[in-house]
């Protein structure tokens, strides 16, 4: 069974977390290139990581996104104490902020399966199973990524978890933004994921009480480990 090192970064600036992702991503890619140079079986486990964090208010635009979906100019961004980054994941624009659980898996998919669509469905399934533990029925909307509530009802459909990933040499980065105790007002300043006819929600909004974030992290981590069949070990020093 593959081992995944989990690192809880707490509340961290988006750019700092992005740089750290890049560092770990490059480390895994280098391990794979060394294996290839030494004619080692690529199925030989490399290091794998899973970062958990929250971000101060920030909007990120994927490489295929439309900048018009950001509805704030630079001055208004500052007034909302928010930042904006164009980044190298798939997908359109999304928001991250305090109370949203962000998960960044840096996984060598050669250690699991080389199927990016299966990878996305597994991430979604882990969130769906976690929501079930809180009595919330999550699901999917055909043709769209992420996890939705009432996804089969166009009038009621609302997104509770957004996803955007990068995968190169079968190594992943970026991941999911799961609205747990998120201030949803910040979504009013964008066209979330480029979709202008569906709402967003959070676990807190659906249940009408604040969720224990540490409990949520553990439940989601357990579901990810079960679905991907990995063992996780916690790494206390994020920069080892």
- 165 is written with which tokens? 């990933």
For residue 40, what are the CA distances in angstroms to 35, 69, 114?
5, 46, 18
């990933």: which residue's tokens? 165
- Beta-carbon count within 10 A of 83 CB: 17
Q: Angle between the 213-228 and 116-132 helix axes, to the nearest 10 degrees?
A: 140
Q: Pinpoint the alpha helices (H) of the chain.
A: 14-37, 74-79, 116-132, 203-207, 213-228
β partners of residue 138: 149
Q: How far is CA 10 from the centre of its chain?
A: 15
């916690």: which residue's tokens? 234
Angle value at C-alpha 216, between 214 and 217, nearest 5 degrees: 65
Radius of gyration in angstroms for the set of CA atoms belonging to the chain, rounded to a whole number: 18
* Contacts of residue 139, Cβ cutoff 8 Å, sequence gap at least 6: 128, 147, 148, 149, 151, 152
Asked if 161 is an active-site residue, the reply is no
Which one from 53, 161, 167, 193 is the annotated catalytic residue?
A: 193
- 51 is written with which tokens? 């970062």
Catalytic residue IDs: 193
């Amino acid at each position: 069974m593959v081992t995944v090192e989990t690192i809880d970064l707490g509340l961290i600036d988006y750019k700092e977390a992005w740089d750290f992702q890049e560092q770990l991503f490059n480390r895994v890619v280098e391990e794979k290139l060394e294996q290839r140079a030494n004619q080692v079986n690529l199925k030989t486990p490399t290091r794998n990581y899973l970062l958990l964090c929250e971000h101060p208010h920030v909007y990120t635009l994927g490489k295929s996104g439309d900048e018009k979906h950001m509805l704030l100019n630079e001055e208004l961004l500052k007034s909302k104490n928010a930042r904006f980054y164009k980044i190298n994941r798939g997908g359109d624009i999304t928001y991250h902020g305090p109370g949203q659980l962000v998960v960044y898996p840096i996984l060598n998919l050669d250690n699991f399966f080389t199927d990016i669509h299966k990878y996305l469905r597994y991430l979604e399934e882990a969130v769906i199973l976690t929501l079930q533990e809180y009595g919330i029925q999550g699901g999917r909307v055909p043709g769209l990524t992420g996890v939705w509530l009432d996804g089969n009802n166009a009038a009621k459909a609302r997104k509770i978890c957004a996803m955007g990933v990068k995968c190169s040499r079968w190594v992943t980065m970026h991941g999911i933004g799961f609205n747990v105790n998120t201030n949803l007002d910040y979504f009013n300043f964008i066209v979330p994921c480029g979709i202008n006819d569906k709402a967003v929600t959070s676990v807190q909004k659906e249940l009408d009480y604040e969720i224990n974030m540490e409990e949520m992290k553990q439940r989601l981590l357990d579901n990810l480990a079960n679905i991907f069949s990995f063992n996780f070990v916690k790494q206390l020093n994020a920069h080892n």
